[in-house]
């Protein structure tokens, strides 16, 4: 029974993470901005730029892009979790084989939960090690978007191939 509920719990946790960081943005956006600034001050590549105006321009650009990564986590976590909950709910009405339902539900839930973390981890570690390096380091979370997409394709397949039980 818990295996049937777990995808829903995972999706709700994903939405909770997106909502929580949104609340934190509203309560203390300066915390995130200061964290980005402090990390960029420790970034060896940026600090090695000898021209002050070029370094300041790079810091300004990177700050904006890293702040956007925090926002992307928020947007993706909430949006994907909402879509995941819709797919999981609809999948429960499809009379597909158990294994197909299981695979679709878990790929949607796990892929949808883990994918947004690529943006959060880039935002956290990117200031100090660089955005590209952070992206490469945490690429496995980005690949989870593919797992989520495979789940969506599985849902579409099941929705078209198998009958729906719409009796309540």
Per-residue confidence (pLDDT) for residue 2, from 0 to 100:
82
pLDDT at 145 over 80: yes
| pLDDT tens by residue, 64-94 | 999 999 999 999 999 999 999 999 999 999 9
Give the Å distances, CA to CA, from 58 to 39, 62, 135, 149.
13, 6, 18, 35
Helix, strand, or coil (residue 117): helix
What is the model's pTM?
0.91
| pLDDT tens by residue, 147-161 | 999 999 999 999 999
| pLDDT tens by residue, 16-38 | 999 999 999 999 999 999 999 99
Look at the alpha carbons of 107, 139, 76, 6 in this order and tell me if their dihedral is positive or negative. Answer: positive
pLDDT at 3 over 90: no
Q: Per-domain residue ranges for the chain?
A: 2-161
């Amino acid at each position: 029974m818990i295996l049937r509920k777990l995808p829903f719990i995972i999706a709700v946790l994903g939405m909770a993470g997106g909502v929580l960081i949104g609340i934190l943005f509203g309560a203390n956006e300066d915390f995130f901005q200061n964290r980005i600034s402090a990390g960029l001050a420790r970034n060896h590549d940026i600090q090695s730029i000898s021209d002050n105006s070029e370094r300041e321009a790079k810091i300004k650009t990177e700050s904006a892009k890293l702040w956007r990564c925090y926002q992307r986590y928020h947007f993706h976590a909430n949006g994907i979790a909402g879509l995941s909950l819709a797919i999981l709910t609809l999948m429960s009405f499809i009379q597909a084989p158990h294994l197909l339902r299981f695979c679709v539900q878990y790929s949607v839930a796990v892929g949808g939960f883990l994918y947004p973390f690529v943006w959060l981890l880039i935002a956290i570690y990117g200031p100090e090690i660089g955005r590209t390096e952070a992206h490469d380091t945490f690429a496995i979370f980005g690949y989870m978007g593919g797992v989520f997409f495979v789940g969506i394709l599985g849902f579409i397949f099941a929705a078209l191939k198998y009958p729906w039980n719409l009796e309540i």
